[in-house]
Amino acid sequence: MNNHFTYLEASKTLSLKEKVGQLFMPAAFINDSEEEIQQLEKLIIEHNVGGLCFFHSRASAATNFEGKKEVIQHEQSFQTIKSLIQRYQNISKYPLLIAIDAEWGLAMRIENTPQYPYAITLGTIQKKVALIYDVGKSIANDCVAAGIHWNLAPCVDINNNPNNPVIGYRSFGENKELVTEKALAFIRGTQSEGILTSIKHFPGHGDTETDSHLGLPLIEKSKEELIDNELYPFQKLIDEGVDSVMVGHLSVPALANGQKISSSISKDIIKGVLRNEMGFEGVVISDALNMHAVSKDYPTKGELEWLAFDAGNDVLCFAENIPEGIDTVLKNASDKQIEESFERVSNLKEKAIPVHTQNLKPNKNLETNTNLNLKLAQNSLTLLHGSDENIALFRNTNFCTLTIKRSIHGFEPGEILANLKEMKSEVEQEKDILILLTPPQVKPMDYFGLLQEELDFINNLIKTKNVVLYLFGNPFVLNHLKIDNAKAIVVVYQNFKEFQDVATQHFLGEIKAIGRLPVTIN
């Protein structure tokens, strides 16, 4: 790869076919075999793809929707992605634009890297929005250290459906102004390190109960309702100037002239609403084209890639049929269509790539996230029910502590029920109980990984005992608990050590809980 020329200068030598190749962004996997790595290298060399979007492995949740493959953890994943990026860049005729989903840090895709709180946790922060800028900046620093140019974040979906199986905790909250404010802080922090962002999932994935990895969600709201709420953060952030917009796989008939078609392949939604009505002139990137919301309906290789491009996507993310996709676009698209998308992508590369090819600090290290996570914990802790006085009185009782925490994997229902029976016996004679609850999963499926018997047990304790409960997880868990009878409910959100320490300080009366829940609990 020749770093002495700017990307725009180099791009003048591309053929039309190479220009089409630049619009494709296949998936790259950190934990691929040597054979799979060589297959991707062949694709890069033969088809001049413009970029790569990195995922953990072919078994990870973002690629293995049915969850039938076991995810193997690899201690050296960060070193692996660094060397893979360099390897792929070295064999590419033109600089590759490297993207990743790092909404809460590289840890979203790479183990043993700094993890920051989920967006729902950041959504609780009231006055110190600069902390969210710091999160964006820190994550961007880690992207630079890896050789990544583009963080496909933040989500600006509005969290207005507690049963949302895929967004929920990834949203800053249910209030459109606060979502916009916090997303802008995250974007500004990311930009400060020269890293690109992408607001997603246009036109808004918040109010759905279908996971678009598995099926096509239907949003049956009027255009007026959507403009007033779901589209609000997108419009405000477009007006502020954003690098790119990611279009989700969502059926929104009110924006598509009544058609129940995925937004990712809808000209009405991308060219009509996003481009013409909302005035967005930057790069449009599709959500992953391997997702079943769209991929299962277009078995002919190249057809989905063409439909996505023709609808207005400039970058075709996780395109699985690249040779056929390039040929279909060349066959059907006008030169003008190709040149317009290519120019937008070229401008994006020109903005991002010099930071890494010319100014990259070779010894840049991953951020140390402990201090920032501690500040975030102090500012997000939320006293949802009860009072400090209740906790102070409780603290002076002869209370017992019940820790309910396990992983989602490795426990059979019989084993869980046996543990539950033991816990019931332990607390039978107790009057005052401190419950430290960490649900097995952050997603709402199957009661956040809790058995109904576990929920019944907690609810019975709240009803019959004096209970103070600290929740280290998604606050929507509380929709399954009868919290009104508790002495106090405190939402900690994360189970990081820094958050545990802050929860302890709060229980001991050393600090106040100053966060505010960004969603409504029924």
pTM equals 0.95
Residue ranges of alpha helices (H) inside 204-302 are: 223-228, 232-240, 267, 292-295
Instruction: Give the integer Cα–Cα distance in Å for 247 and 203.
Output: 7
CB–CB of 190/197 below 8 Å? yes
Query: How confident is the model at residue 12, as a pLDDT?
Result: 77
Cβ neighbours of residue 181 closer than 8 Å, sequence gap 6 or more: 129
Helix (H) or strand (E) holding 83: helix 77-91
SS3 395: helix
Query: How confident is the model at residue 58, as a pLDDT?
Result: 87
SS3 373: helix
Number of other residues whose CB lies within 10 A of the CB of residue 407: 10
Which segments of the chain have a pLDDT < 50? Answer: 1-5, 356-362
> How many degrees, rounded to 5, is the angle at CA 177 between CA 444 and CA 102?
50
CB–CB of 503/381 below 8 Å? yes
Instruction: Give the integer Cα–Cα distance in Å for 26 and 16.
Output: 19
Query: How confident is the model at residue 3, as a pLDDT?
Result: 43
SS3 202: strand
Instruction: Give the integer Cα–Cα distance in Å for 100 and 7.
Output: 21
Task: Look at the alpha carbons of 212, 216, 221, 225 in this order and tell me if their dihedral is positive or negative.
Answer: positive
Give strand pairing partners of 433.
400, 467
Helix (H) or strand (E) holding 139: helix 130-146
Residue appearing with tokens 């990712």: 264
DSSP string, 455-475: HHHHHHHHHHSEEEEEE-S-G
Query: How confident is the model at residue 70, as a pLDDT?
Result: 77
CB–CB of 294/264 below 8 Å? yes
- Report which of 479, 463, 270 is spatially closest to residue 471, judged by C-alpha positions: 479
List pLDDT tens digits, range 110-158. Answer: 999 999 999 999 999 998 999 999 999 999 999 999 999 999 999 999 9
Query: How confident is the model at residue 71, as a pLDDT?
Result: 78
CB–CB of 216/263 below 8 Å? no
The domains of the chain, with CATH numbers, are 7-357 (3.20.20.300), 370-507 (3.40.50.1700)
Give strand pairing partners of 404.
437
